[in-house]
Amino acid sequence: MAASTKFPEVQGGGSLILAWQVKNKNVLVVGGGEVAAGRILNVLNADAKVTLVCPASGLNPEVAYRVEQGQVTHIDRVFEPSDLDGADMVMTAIDDPVASTVIWKLCKERKIPANIADVPPECDFYFGSVHRDGPLQIMVSTNGKGPRLAAIIRKHIAKSLPKNAGNAIEAIGQLRQKLRKIAPNPEASPKRMGWMIKVSNAYGWEEICDFTDEDMENLLTYYADNKVPTVDDLQAMLFAMSGRKLGGGRVLGSGKGLAPPTASAVRQRASSPFAPSESTVSITSASTSPPVSSPAPDFAAQDLTSNINLGGPPKSGDNSSKLVCPICEEEMMTLLQLNRHIDDAHQELAEVEQDEVRTWFDKQVNKAKRFQPLSIINQKLRGLEVFESNETLPVSSVAGPRTQVEQPIDPDELITRSRWQRQTMNDRCTDPLCGKNLGAVNGSINCRHCGRLFCEEHTMYQMKLSRAAKHEPVRGYWARVCETCYKSREGYNDHNGLLIDHTSAFTELRRKRVERQNLEVARLEKRLTKLTTLLANPPEEVATNNGALSLSIDVRMCRDCNHTIFSKRDFDAALASKPPDQRAYETLRQFERGIRQIMPIFQRTLLALQPEGSNASGEHPPPTHAQIQEASKIRKRLTDAFTKYDTAARRLRDLKTTSKMQLRLQNAIYAAASAFLHTHMLTLKSVPQILRSRSSQSSQSRLLTLQCSRSSGSWSRR
d(C-alpha 369, C-alpha 365), whole Å: 6
Contacts of 587 (CB under 8 A, 6+ apart): 648
Q: Out of 47, 76, 95, 118, pick the active-site residue.
A: 118
Give buried/exposed letters for 76-86 (b at 16+ CB in 10 A, else e). Answer: eeebeeebbee
Distances (CA, A) of 614 to 211, 622, 631: 78, 11, 19
Backbone Cα Rg of the chain: 46
Crossing angle for the helix pair 625-653 and 580-608, nearest 10 degrees? 160
Rounded to the nearest 10°, the torsion over CA 508, 513, 514, 517 is 160
* CA angle (384, 389, 391) in 5-degree steps: 135
Q: Contacts for 686-689 with beta carbons within 8 Å, 24 or more apart? A: 686/606, 687/606, 687/609, 687/631, 687/632, 687/635
Closest of 648, 640, 634, 639 to residue 590, by C-alpha: 648
- Strand pairing category for 49-53 and 26-30: parallel
Coil, strand, or helix at residue 373? coil
State how far the alpha carbon of 204 is from the alpha carbons of 200, 201, 215, 228, in Å.
8, 8, 15, 13
Concerning whether 118 is annotated as a catalytic residue, the answer is yes
- At residue 145, what is the residue type? K
Catalytic residues: 118
